[in-house]
A and B are shown apart, each in its own frame.
Chain A
Amino acid sequence: MRRLLFVIIALATLLPSLAQAYDVLVLQSSHNTGYEQAFNGFRSDCKAPQRVVVLSDYVDVDVVRIVREERPRLILAIGDTALAATRKITQTPVIAVVALGINAKANLTGVTMFAPPEKYCNLFKQLKVHNVGVIHNPDKTGWYLDKAQKAAEKVGIKLIVRKVATPRETLAQLDSLAGKVDTLWMLPDTTAVTRETVEAYFRFGQHQAVPVVSFASSYLGLGAAAAVDINSTEMGRQAGDMANALLRGVRIDDIPRQAPRGTKYTINPNVLGKLDINDASE
């Protein structure tokens, strides 16, 4: 009887330590370039043992069960799909990168996709514009717009804000900006900017002859005049630093979400030329 009791105690003590063979569970949404770059950046900074799960490689991944059984010390969610997969996890810290839905949550931190508003304001100054039109969903990007308003006021730029609750409202709000703005700022707001409405931004810019400033350089080809592009690799490194801190024992409450460090301006000189705007990248 003693022997049996000893075996049970030994298994209960050793099995969890056997299962915890790594520290970081990396959930990657897919093999998209941006995600791969972010992961590479993370890996270059964080050398802790990792297990990588690319969600698009499976039909369904039970992340909760993996976490319960393997007990990683933290989760790195790369992309919104991966972030969504961690919604039910409340105990394990989650660091999210290259994701738009990083909201306030107890066990969640990460690097947002929102470049510091000062970056945009600096760009607006270079473009010599004063009235900047913005469309956003307050529930999603209200926090960012507060920061933006303050940054704009500092440099004498007026933000003309339109609020939407559904993507369909975007078109009407865009029409309401006609003749009132001299540039249009596209926020990474998944309500205000969708596949169906993104065209309307550039059509607005074309009709109103105002530059459209976007958050991703991929929109330059569709008609955006400039963009504040975020370096995914650098975001990965930021996340790696956060992970190292967590692994060192820093509480997640002490690691707030951060704006991306690595940003750069990209422009479409053809569009700027047609709008009679000098090269703003200088």
Chain B
Amino acid sequence: MSHYPLPIHFRSSFQYRLFRVFTLLTSLIALIFLTVYITFEIRNQRAHISAQLHLQAQHLAETIRLPLYAENRPVLQQLAEGATHQIPELRGVVITASNGKVLTDVRLPRSENNAGVIEETVEVRSDTLASSPESAISGGTEPGPTLIGRVSLKRSTEDLLLMSYRLVAISCAMAVGFWLTVSLICYLVLRQVTKSFNVLIQGIHAMQSGDLSARINVVSDDEPGRAANAVNDLADALAARTVELENANRELEAFNYSVSHDLRKPLTVIYSYCQFIQEFCSHNLDAQCREYLQEISDGSQRMNQLIGTLLEFASLTRTELYRCHVDLSEIAHTTAKGLVVTEPSRKVTLRIAEGITVKGDRNLLQVVMDNLLSNAWKFTSKKEDALIEFGVLEDEGMPAYYVRDNGSGFNMTHADKLFIPFHRLPGTGVDGHGIGLATVERIIKRHGGRVWAEGEPEKGATFYFTL
């Protein structure tokens, strides 16, 4: 589980995913309906045009019945040309006699575009009501109209093509309008539906960022609303527990400070008396006693230093942070000069990157740099050509500052114990209380950063920290 709130990207939100599904489904449905509608309409129009052409052919057949029977070509030609004038879409009229002989063939040039042609042929038959003299006088019925000929009309579908283009354009526009409207409605509905989810997520993020006083505003009694209530209850319990822990910690630190402070008084007395005896009564003591007395004095001195370190360590959590721009490079230079002064005989190469500035508490960051550079100085004491570096690199998109040395290093199996207070790695061979790196870790954590180390025995160590 991440300790940091994940950034809420719109693309990964529940609302966006639902919206995407809805809009995709809507567009798919709109596309299907659009295709079906256009196909149906075009077929319908084509059938309508065919039926219309059939009627026109039948009408022409009625008109030409007599001249066709008489095989009067000029009249047939005139009627066929008249039909092409009356119906501009006609591209051809062919009139044939019952024996197949073509009596009239009027053809017009086809349009330049790729429009097709529909053809309708109807038979021209004698009038169904008309009867022969024999039937008329006998009162009989005729067997059926006799075939006189055929008329065939060819019609261009150019207008159908244009109508299809127009139909597709209008339908697409309507489908897009429908899709946009439905999408907008979906978005508004989803925003309302997912409001409780968003409120829940925002509340959890606020708590996750450390604001334990933040509470989720419960806007509904649905599942997210109930989850918000549960999280609020959990936050209440967590806040109460935190208060308890803070109180206990504060009491513990106060106790620590009090004990450390109170221990200093008798220790000062012991040390003072040891100094007094060494100065005024040493001639009454033999060498053995003087040696013991010196041991007591040194021990009380070390204990005093330890108590001072403890007081300082305890004060780290008690002091307030004052964030400002801090030039770490400058601090590194200052600290390094101090170290060089303490042991001017040592030959140490210091490489300090310039212009590294951060935002943090100057005093605490000074402590961090002091501890890290002092450690590097100490653990390179046995090296002829010691090298200590301070710089910055990028780690997971964040600047990571480091102090590197080529000293005695450490085994990576002990890396997790480096920052435990008063814990010292075996075989280090240098003085210390084992509180420096624990102090560094606490300061970095108070800045919201992270500290870690990499090392290899006799090859050196690198300590990284972020802020």
Which of A's residues lie within 8 Å of B, judged by CB? 29-30, 32-35, 79-80, 98, 100, 113, 167-168, 171-172, 188-190, 193-200, 203, 214-216, 218-219, 221-222, 230, 232
Contact = CB atoms under 8 A, between A and B. Distances in A.
Contacts of A79: 134, 138
Interface in B44-62: none
Contacts of A215: 133, 136-137
Nearest to B127: A199
Contacts of A168: 69-71
B443 to A, nearest CB: 118
Contacts of A113: 133, 137
B67 A190 contact: no
A219 B137 CA distance: 10
B130 interface: yes
The B interface is mostly helix, strand or loop, or mixed, namely loop
Nearest to A100: B133
Contact of A218 (B71, B126, B131, B146): B131
Given A32-B138, A34-B140, 6 more contacts: A29-B138, A30-B140, A168-B69, A216-B133, A218-B136, A219-B131
Contacts of A221: 129
B144 to A, nearest CB: 10
B65 interface: yes
A193 B132 contact: yes
A34 B145 CA distance: 22
A195 B138 contact: no
A32 B140 contact: yes
A33 B135 CA distance: 10
B129 A196 contact: no
A97 to B, nearest CB: 10
Contacts of A167: 69
A34 B131 contact: no
B378 to A, nearest CB: 130
B100 interface: no
Interface string B99-127: 00000000000000000000000000011
A190 B138 contact: no
For the complex of A and B, the 5 pairs showing the least CB-CB separation, nearest first, are: A32-B140, A33-B139, A216-B136, A34-B138, A171-B70
A222 B130 contact: yes
A199 B66 contact: yes
A203 B129 contact: no
A175 to B, nearest CB: 9
B72 interface: yes
Given A168-B71, A193-B132, A198 B138 contact: no
Contact of B127 (A33, A34, A198): A198
Nearest to A56: B140
Contacts of A199: 65-66, 126-127, 130
A230 B137 contact: yes
Contacts of B461: none
A236 to B, nearest CB: 13
6 contacts: A32-B135, A34-B140, A190-B132, A195-B127, A199-B126, A222-B130
A126 B399 CA distance: 126
B148 interface: yes
A168 B146 CA distance: 15
B66 A203 contact: yes
Interface in B125-173: 126-127, 129-140, 142, 145-146, 148
Nearest to A227: B136
B274 to A, nearest CB: 152
Contacts of A29: 138
Contacts of B131: 195, 198, 218-219
B150 to A, nearest CB: 15
A188 B135 CA distance: 11
B19 to A, nearest CB: 72
Contacts of B133: 100, 113, 188-190, 193, 215-216
A168 B73 CA distance: 13
Contact of B134 (A33, A80, A172, A203): A80
B103 to A, nearest CB: 13
Most buried by A among B133, B145, B148: B133
A218 B139 contact: yes
B450 to A, nearest CB: 108
Nearest to A38: B138
B136 A195 contact: no
A188 B72 CA distance: 25
Most buried by B among A29, A167, A193, A218: A218
Contacts of B134: 79-80, 100, 190
B216 to A, nearest CB: 93
